Chains A and B, each alone.
Chain A
Amino acid sequence: MRKRFVFRSLSRAAHPVLLTVLAALAGLAGNAQQGLLRLNLDYAVALPAGAFRDVVSHGSFRGFDASLMYGLNDRVSIGFNTGFQDFYQKYPRQVYTTSDGSDISAVVTNSVQVVPLMAKVQYRLGSSRVWQPYAGLAAGGYSVLYRQYLGEFAGSNNRFRFGFRPELGIYIPFSGQGESGLTISGVYNYLPFHSAGISSMNSFGIRLGASFPIRE
């Protein structure tokens, strides 16, 4: 017999933001249901942050995110997260002077593909039947393919880096008793890179997708 979602009120004394932060710090996390295996599939948009903006400042609308989550109880679920995000930016022709004194005139294109491979934990915060806020934290590795093109000539710098990703989102069931629903969330990818003169490839992200059970 599949359990239905149980909506519980949070303590009125606890501030929701504080709870979110505590949940993230404690490694808790989203829309959980005990014993249920769920698949979350999201369309992903990302905006580079910090030093990454020196490489690519344009937002990326080419991405997806997928999580396979197992409900430990009605609030906490754990699982695996992966996805894909493609960053691209072409800069107008410019003359660059290299350290050896060469002058190179080129149209420079930076191309970055990021694939997270992470363990993830979610904690459901809300108790409404209409929408359920949740907090999540994913930690693990990012596989980064970074290519810089001078004209049509590419140099690549591919790295696997450890990082983490806090997340805040809302789960909206398709129906009151439904086990499937819409998810909207915001994430921050903390991705130290430390290669090719780039200290980090951090980014903000927005996810829009669906969550549905695949196995009891």
Chain B
Amino acid sequence: MRLLDIQGLKTHFKTDDGWLHAVDGVDLTLDAGETLGVVGESGCGKSVTAMSVLKLVPMPPGRIVEGRMLWQGRDLVPMSPEEMRKIRLKEIAIVFQEPMTSLNPVYTIGDQLSEGIRLHEGLSKKDSLDRAVQMLRKVNIPTAERRINDYPHHFSGGMRQRVMIALALSCRPKLLIADEPTTALDVTIQAQILDLLAELKAELGMAVMLITHAMGVVAEVAQRVVVMYAGKVVEQAPVRELFAHPRHPYTQGLIRSIPRIDLAATAKPRLEAIPGTVPKLVAPKPGCRFAGRCKHAKPSCSDADPTLRDVGPGHQVACFLDVVA
């Protein structure tokens, strides 16, 4: 069942130098129970896409300029703030990157966890606190009934992220958006959190949109992958297909520029670096945005914006050329 259908989303920001085209025509779909990995480097627009879905982008200076975001058939873009509030947490929940700053330091964990439950499910204070304790246990926080009265600074980074996950899942949403949930954490803690997310997903049957810049994480966790560059989707495919047969030069370059620990320790191949830097997204010129860094680029690549076309089952690429890895 199709849960989320983003069509031609454009979110722009007004800056001193002009309008910044942070998200510039993104198409994305997500089905129930699916784990979608959205991968790209800083400035590609993946976080802004996620924030746009929940209309959490500050407007001004941001604005959803164009596009539709269909959540179970209803377009989120024209929805009023009250309607959005009913969707947030109850249907779509989000976990952010910085567990240090996502929790309010002057309220107990119990207060913060139960707040959403009370608002959405209408439970009494006691019942919502009970549910909060349940959620803490679900995310493997020991002695949950005592920790419910602790403040955020009593928890370590990894534990705070678990609390954030507990909070996000407290009303059993259908979709969890995780925006770089483990980037700020140590790698062993990251492993714990990713395992936890997988367990909870299986138990609650929810869909997950995992946003990250780490291809390794995507390879481990995602079923389908969307690769973003400079505000656009450049490739999307099932995860094995993407890694086995990447078709967009950027995806290929990205995969080849990452040191793999198994190869790094033995063969030590020279990393293939993508030259140059991401283009500025203010008043972008027409044409493929990767052309300036692409070793296969032809002059015709800068004439028009490439659109996504099918190159295999479930595999789409936004590239004029046929570059086989």
> Do A and B make up one complex?
no
* Residues of A near any B CB (own CB < 8 A): none
Show the binding face of B for A, using Cβ within 8 Å. Answer: none
